[in-house]
Amino acid sequence: MRVLRATLTEGANRLRLEEPATSGGFGPLCRVSVPPANVWCVCRGDDDPSIRAADLLIAWWNEAGGESAAPDLWTDHLGLDRRLLTRALVELNKAHQRNEALQRSVSTLRDEWACNTRIPPEIIELIENLRLSPPRMIFGSVATEGQMAVPLAELQGSCDAPSTFLVQPLLAGSRGLVGIDIHVAQGVTGSGILLASLYAVDGDCVLADWRIPFADLRPGWLPLRIPTALNWSYRALELRLWSVGSEVERPRLSIVATGLLDELAVKMDAGAEVGSSRGAAPSHMLAVRVWAGLPGMLWDSWRNPDGHPLWGELAIPVFDHTVAQVRPSREFTASFRWFGCLPGGRVLLHPLLDRVAAACLPLPAASALRAVTCEVVMEDRRRRTPIAAKLVIAAPEVAVDQAESEEQVLASSGWTILAQPERRYPLSAPLARPHFGPVNLHLFTRIADGGPDYYGRTVFGRFELRIDSQSTWQMLPVLSEGSE
């Protein structure tokens, strides 16, 4: 709070405002054209100069801002502190009322947005398509390198408390998780049960349990499925495996190298890492594939043939480490970089004048391959000459010239004209019948109208495999018995 003293100057035609504690002479006068703002009160004494000064102040306020603009006029000095405290409490109460009104306005606005906001039909259609589309594989192991026996566990009261089990960390979160595949290298003819559970380390809870009789096991991928895609947000997941029953034979699971992901190495009882019985190094993990979809969706909702045009197919992305194996099919010399593997699983294939640029991407064996898709884009907006691109699927022994002329190939997308720069064009090469085994994916680009070869930076990306859903797994899906 600041207190100013108003005194009349000689001639009684001017007011001087000064601090009460000012000592000595007065400083230079400063003309004030309007009354000060945020003045709570004017307190005057009973002497004639004080009365005249107060009247002059009130008249000043009334002339500048109207009769209601003048502050309160107080005459008692003893009650100044009490009046100021009362005024402060009144202002505080008004501030509380304004805050309450603001909160009510915000709540009303939030309710209106929740009830009256119209969701665009495109968003609704996108969500419905996601619910009807098949689950996507978000993690997949490379080729198997050995096998490991599942330990026999002595149960401690129930199947939920085994004494010994394998622990396989998963490189995935729980939100949207709909299933896990494990690869069985060797089944068991005796009696017994293979048990698996999905455990959330950061939540200290079991999200799903599976029980598979030994009689249902055979070599190949075993799909473990959750009836409804999880809606939890746990980050650290483990797949725990053990078996009960016969002490003579135990099921054996395939293992793969972890590579640079040593944190995915399989462990025994969450302790030391273990290797395979065939002398595998400690840095090995179980061969697993992880599937995910929209949280809350049914894992088999896409099986309805009337629900989605892609019924019967599953989309598997080609991971970056696989795309990194791409190599040029023809050698050219150019003043610019015409070929290269880019980050994010993309391939640069710059067209050349009067020549067809080609690259080959070997793909591992897939179960019942039905199509390969990708996107291609001209990344340089300065490009004005159209470019043609093509995608061809062929057996590994087919040469690049045969693939370009589409002789003895499995599928081709045909030449697609990229007329506009920075626009993504889809390429799809569907197969006439499902194919089993490895294939080579050939990429081709050429200048469509013989124009110049500069400003033609063409990039392929977002490679996906479409596989037949009925032939993906060698065993029937096993649904979890319960989930959190």
The whole-number pLDDT of residue 314 equals: 76
In tens, the pLDDT along 215-261 reads: 888 888 889 999 888 988 898 999 999 988 766 678 899 998 887 77
Query: What is the β-pairing status of strands 41-43 and 72-74?
Result: parallel
First to last CA, the chain: 61
Q: Which residue has the higher pLDDT, 115 or 102?
A: 102
pLDDT at 131: 66
Please report the pLDDT score of residue 22 as a whole number: 55
Give the bridge partners for 291, in sequence order: 137, 179
pLDDT in tens, 387-413: 999 999 999 999 999 999 999 999 999
DSSP 113-131: HHHHPPPPHHHHHHHHHHH
Going by the DSSP 8-state scheme, the letter that residue 135 receives in this structure is P
Report the largest interatomic distance among the alpha carbons of the chain, rounded to a whole angstrom.
Answer: 120
Domains and CATH numbers, the chain: 5-21+34-77 (no CATH), 136-297+472-479 (2.60.120), 320-468 (2.60.120.260)
Those residues with Cβ within 8 angstroms of residue 6's Cβ, 6 or more apart along the chain or in another chain: 15, 16, 17, 42, 53, 54, 57
Task: Give the residue among 55, 35, 36 at the shortest CA–CA distance from 45.
Answer: 55
pLDDT band with cut points at 50, 70 and 90 for residue 168: very high
The amino acid present at 46, given as its one-letter code, is: D
Q: Is the pLDDT of residue 155 over 70?
A: no
Could you tell me the pLDDT band of residue 78, with boundaries at 50, 70 and 90? low
pLDDT at 281 over 50: no
Residue 243 and residue 211: Cα distance in Å, rounded?
9
Model confidence pLDDT, tens digit, residues 17-67: 777 655 555 566 666 777 777 787 788 877 777 888 888 888 888 887 777
pLDDT computed for residue 307 by the predictor: 43
pTM over 0.85? The answer is no
Q: What is the DSSP string of 399-458?
A: -HHHHHHT-S-SEE---EEE-STT--EEEEEEEEEEEEEEEEEEEEEEESSS--SSS--E
Provide the pLDDT for residue 349.
Answer: 92
316 or 184, higher pLDDT: 184
Residue 328, pLDDT > 90, answer: yes
Nearest to 195 by CA among 225, 150, 249: 150
Most confidently modeled of 15-24, 335-344, 438-447?
438-447
Pairing of strands 166-170, 237-245: antiparallel
CB 433 within 8 A of CB 407: no
Q: pLDDT-derived band of residue 484, with 50, 70 and 90 as boundaries?
A: very low
Mean residue pLDDT of the chain comes to 81
Strands annotated E in 324-386: 327-328, 339-342, 346-349, 357-378
- How far is it, in rounded angstroms, from Cα 123 to Cα 128? 9
Residue 51's CB is within 10 A of a number of other CB atoms, namely: 13
Token pair for 320? 């970056």
User: pLDDT at residue 189 above 80?
Assistant: no
Highest mean pLDDT of the ranges 128-132, 277-281, 420-424: 420-424
* pLDDT attached to residue 308: 42
CA distances from 195 to 155, 156, 222, 240, 339 (A): 11, 14, 13, 8, 49
Question: Tokens in use for 62?
Answer: 């009334």
Q: Evaluate whether 377 touches 425 at the Cβ level (below 8 Å).
A: yes
Q: Is residue 360 within 8 Å of 329, Cβ to Cβ?
A: yes
* 3-state SS class at 414: coil
469 near 369, Cβ under 8 Å?
Answer: no
Q: How many CB atoms lie within 10 A of CB 252?
A: 20
Is the pLDDT confidence value at 277 over 60?
Answer: no
Looking at residue 357, its pLDDT comes to: 92
Amino acid 346: pLDDT: 94
| 3-state DSSP assignment of residue 58 | helix
- pLDDT, residue 77, reads 60
Strands 220-225 and 478-479: parallel
What stretches of 324-479 show up as alpha helix (H) in DSSP? 400-405
C-alpha 239/C-alpha 328 separation (Å) is 40
57-61, 175-179, 273-277, 414-418: segment of lowest average pLDDT = 273-277
- Integer Cα distance of 169 and 400 in angstroms: 41
Per-residue pLDDT, 470: 67
